[in-house]
Amino acid sequence: MADVGEVLMSVLSTIRVPKPGDRVHKDECALSFSSPESEGGLYVCMNSFLGFGSQYVDRHHARTGQRAYLHITRTRKAKDDDNNSGSGHPPKKKPTRLAIGIEGGFDVEQEQYEEDVKVVILPDRQEVTSDDLATMSDVVKERVSLSMAGIMAADSVSHTLQVQQWDGEVRQESRHAADLKQLDNGLKIPPSGWRCEVCDLQENLWMNLTDGKVLCGRRYFDGSGGNNHALLHFQETAYPLAVKLGTITPDGADVYSYDEDDMVLDSKLPEHLAHFGIDMMTMEKTERTMTELEIAVNQRVGEWEVIQESGTTLRPLFGPGLTGMKNLGNSCYLNSVMQVLFTVPDFQSKYVSNIDKIIDEAPSDPSQDFKTQGDQIGIAPRMFKALVGRGHPEFSTNRQQDAQEFLLHFINMVERNCRSGPNPSEAFRFLVEERIVCQQSQKAKYTQRVDYIVQLPVPMDQATNTGERAKQCKLRMPPTVRAQIPFTACMAALSEPEVLTDFWSSAVQAKTTATKTTRFASFPDHLVIQIKKFTFGLDWVPKKLDVSIDVPDTLDLSALCATGQQPGEELLPEVAPPPLMTPDVEVKAPVLDDSTVSQLCEMGFPLEACRKAVYYTGNTGIDAAMNWIMGHMDDPDFSAPLVLPGCSSGAGTTPTESLSEEHLATIVSMGFSRDQATKALRATSNVLDRAVDWIFSHLDDLESMDVSEGGRSAAESEGGREPPPGPRVRDGPGKYELFAFISHMGTSTMCGHYVCHIKKDQQWVIFNDQKVCASEKPPKDLGYLYFYRRVAE
């Protein structure tokens, strides 16, 4: 074997020192989830700065010829005091601050490691330590030492993806505080004995800092809280700031800005309170602050402890399919979704069984390859998270996200990356039939659309324990009794006809009432059900419904199978509604009520959605437009530009040469011809989501296409090919069994925590990030996303 010094000299030209902007992967293998803590450690190429586990470094050497690697190993130090009493348990130290990773907040595990670093030369794996370098020539010692130091000092790619701290109590100074207008109305507020001036409530009271009005706070989704009188007062007067009575102390108080829609700081609060006779220095706290209320919610026994199965000794599990995933800082939504997806045979076959082929075909930088990263289910999915979130305004951040939205985002990525070969997302894809019946003419219209998730409504009025909950509200007790909703009531709400009050009927050429019924046109191999727990309150603030639903282990949806056009049933004529146009026919812009559009935009809805709401409700006012928005928020083209019949941006005007090849390929991968994909994109201004919906709504038109959109003549099209294919969906019996569910803890999808339970070999297993244990009491009634698989007949 050659002298190691001579070997280093021979490869010295390939050893680089990291420069600003270089991506250094020193925490995770580019081909697996191996890390410096894994067996064998991590080998970082000293030329490309890609990291590889012990099982893959030889393969990288063989493919690239690179020989010098920095070998990093870490050994976990034993903790003197472990604050967690068991898997899934909340920290023993009670949090006093709505924060993560800082004093007083919720604890975050901070591991301590001993680290060993040396250079390894392949293929013989000759080792060079820092002591060895000291005996070598100056030129070798300088270059190698600088490279080692640069790699170790550089921020790893994963470091930029992690959030170590989050403080929910950091509040900003209100823009209204400095120059707040206060009325000289002579009003003086007593130090106690407050009541709402409208409804006489004696708790959850807020004093407006402009006029001194004492009014109750917001009503919560379960009927508790106030009656919205403070909010209504702001909407009538535009007086922005209010202080929560009972929270005033010499140290401060809860101040809310209705205009800024957030808790804020008021640096002039003592002066503002003194205006109404309140001496801040003598006040004592008598009500829980909003922070204390939220901490109480985050700790309440109904969610965090039950879902994580705290209070029981959970048996840790190990082995294939039982590997946990580290939380990278609000990445539990990703961990839970990926754990479930990789129990589905289609995803295992595509990304696990095929691993050798995937790695052999991986590009020079595997960290940017979807197929390679899709294979990885293991310890800390930093590269995978960075890849699937790249370019997305939410999933590229470290904020908490909605697991359902991420699931759809990931399925969309799978669709784009599986244009040839097996597509595992087909396991979830199904067709929905929508039947709309005009109540005036009794004629019907049938459309089909593709979907991946069933969104199940939660009818709160069907709770079986309303009496017990009403008793708590009457006694002004905290709402600890969870609403119990029968699953059958949710299914009934899903299947019952929806009344459309502003339906334009082509049969009567006018707006009238119609009913819409939704049924399954196909049943997928695997069915995902989302419980619609997140909704809007009366003040349009997002709310989470705290409900218990008796979700069954088996499900039979046969009764919801679509039947198509009924015998003797007449169809509505295919005539488009007349657009709202100005009298000047040369001007194609719609006449829209700008004030209504502005009001909707101020509520936070996208501009194009607001324009469509006003257009499709015929400028009939804010209430009608708001109802339209709430009824179409789940539409895939909700935020897409408004396209009008006859407008230059309308259907059929997008030239073929401007169509996105990526969009064309995505639609073709779903089983349609290029001609059909072209027609769909041209009909929807090249918007992919709208094109997919359009193509499923016009299957009959596509099957009778007599002119090819791809450049061939009609005769060539008719005589030279088979009939156009339909959508590529699987179908079978609508009988299913539950095999997994994802649960959410917290008040919003933007905060809190996700865990998943998966049934493996007839045993329920809880995956709580990297903790994997046998489940003792799976909380199936508190899930958010439920996953079913078809039961063979």
| Catalytic site positions | 332, 753
Kindly state the DSSP code that residue 469 receives in the 8-state scheme: H
Q: Are 495 and 456 in contact (CB under 8 A)?
A: no
CA distances from 734 to 488, 784, 793 (A): 16, 21, 10
Q: What SS3 string covers 385-416?
A: HHHHHCCCCCCCCCCCCCHHHHHHHHHHHHHH
CA distances from 528 to 122, 531, 749, 793 (A): 48, 10, 18, 20
Please give the Cα distance from 535 to 543 (Å, whole number).
Answer: 5
Q: Are 14 and 66 in contact (CB under 8 A)?
A: yes
Tokens of 369: 């390859």
Return the amino acid letter for 119: V
CA distances from 348 to 166, 351, 430, 768 (A): 35, 6, 20, 21
Give 171's Cβ-side CA count (13 Å radius).
21
Please give the Cα distance from 211 to 213 (Å, whole number).
Answer: 6
Backbone angles phi, psi at 571, to 5 degrees: -95, 150
Partners of 547 in beta bridges: 483
Tokens of 766: 């809880």
Please give the Cα distance from 383 to 373 (Å, whole number).
Answer: 7
Tokens of 85: 């009493």
Q: Are 452 and 522 in contact (CB under 8 A)?
A: no
Partners of 331 in beta bridges: none
Tokens of 219: 């009503």
Give 762's Cβ-side CA count (13 Å radius).
0
The two beta strands, 547-549 and 483-485, are parallel
Please state the length of the chain.
793
Q: Are 249 and 284 in contact (CB under 8 A)?
A: yes
- Which segments are annotated as binding site for substrate? 206, 218-221, 256, 258, 261
Partners of 115 in beta bridges: 74
Q: What value, to the nearest 5°, has the Cα angle with vertex 277 and ends 271 and 283?
A: 85
Coil, strand or helix at 657: helix
- Which segments are annotated as binding site? 196, 199, 206, 216, 218-221, 229, 256, 258, 261
CA distances from 351 to 60, 345, 407 (A): 20, 10, 17
Backbone angles phi, psi at 456, to 5 degrees: -95, 120
Q: Put the strands of the sheet holding 205-208 in their side by side order.
A: 214-216, 205-208, 241-244, 255-257, 262-264
- Which segments are annotated as binding site for Zn(2+)? 196, 199, 216, 229
Coil, strand or helix at 423: coil
Query: How much of the chain is helix, strand and coil, in % rounded to 5?
Result: 30, 20, 50
Helix ranges restricted to H, 528-673: 594-602, 607-616, 622-632, 661-669
Longest Cα–Cα distance in the chain: 95
Supply the angle between the helices 403-417 and 661-669 in degrees, to the nearest 10: 100
Q: Which of 415, 423, 410, 407 is nearest to 663 (CA)?
A: 415
Question: Cis omega before residue 123 (within 30°)?
Answer: yes
